[in-house]
Amino acid sequence: MPAYIVFIMRTVKEPAALERYWESVGPTLAGRPIKPLAAYTPFTVLEGVDPVEAAIVVEFPSREDAEAWYNSPGYQSAREHRLAGADFLTLLIEGGAKAPRHSKMVSHP
């Protein structure tokens, strides 16, 4: 079952740190079976609270693949630049659909 990592960039704090992130994140994805679905493309906030400066959606073959990439030493090193550069909301979402049950929908590590 595919899984998706969704990055929602709320506000930029340090543009130079984001530049370092963008330079360092590419190599962490090399050789991994990922599919970028949307990255820094135009968007519209239909509901919710601004600000949102950008959104990125990346598809992985499975939750395990997404977690392996996210937790890899290479990405964790690049991630430090992202965190220094901007405030993000980052989600890992499993593909598929289930009947909604609020108590079981949200999982926090």
- Which residue pairs from 34-41 have beta carbons closer than 8 angstroms and sit at least 24 positions apart in sequence? 34/58, 34/59, 34/60, 34/65, 34/69, 35/59, 37/4
Structural domain including 86 reads 3-95
101: DSSP letter: -
Cα–Cα distance between 13 and 89 in angstroms, integer? 14
Q: What is the pLDDT of residue 26?
A: 94
Q: Is residue 16 part of a domain?
A: yes
What percentage of the chain carries pLDDT values higher than 90?
84
Count of domains forming the chain = 1
Give per-residue pLDDT as tens, 69-107: 999 999 999 999 999 999 999 999 999 988 877 665 566
- The confidence band for 25, taking pLDDT boundaries of 50, 70 and 90, is very high
Cα–Cα distance between 43 and 65 in angstroms, integer? 27
Q: Is residue 61 part of a domain?
A: yes
Q: Is residue 17 part of a domain?
A: yes
Q: Residue 23 maps to which CATH number? A: 3.30.70.100
- The confidence band for 23, taking pLDDT boundaries of 50, 70 and 90, is very high
Q: Is residue 106 part of a domain?
A: no
